[in-house]
Amino acid sequence: MSTSLVRFLMGTIVLAAVCWSILSWQHPGARGQEAKRYVYKVVDVPPDNTAMQNTLNEYGAAGWELVVIGMGDMTSPRLVFKK
């Protein structure tokens, strides 16, 4: 057998193994476990550090996790939390 044919066959076997493992993998939620459900909350805060820190601490203490910070009306930050 030539080395190029051996490389081709080895590559084909590896590719087939990778494809098989991807296709046979199941998401944990597919095995009878219910998928996690989240609730989201959008909060506009004044554009000063103290107000933002107080808001972050308040929602964090209540179990909310900060997901993203955006600019709502381009003058005040908009915080998006999930729980």
Read off the pLDDT of residues 5-52 as tens digits, 9 standing for 90 and up.
656 666 566 665 665 666 666 655 556 677 788 999 999 888 888 988
Taking each continuous run of H as one helix and of E as one strand, the counts in the chain are 2, 3
The answer to whether residue 65 is domain-embedded is yes
Which pLDDT score is estimated for 70? 87
Structural domain containing residue 73 = 3-28+38-82
Mean pLDDT over 59-75 rounds to: 87
Helix (H) or strand (E) run with residue 68 in it: strand 65-71
Q: Is 66 part of a structural domain of the chain?
A: yes
To the question of pTM greater than 0.75 for the whole model, the response is no
Q: 53 in a domain, yes or no?
A: yes
- Residue 58's pLDDT band, with cuts at 50, 70 and 90, is very high
For residue 33, being part of any structural domain is answered with no
What integer is the mean pLDDT of 55-77?
Answer: 88
Nearest to 45 by CA among 73, 14, 18: 73
pLDDT of residue 60: 95
The letter for the amino acid at 82 is K
Question: How many domains is the chain partitioned into structurally?
Answer: 1
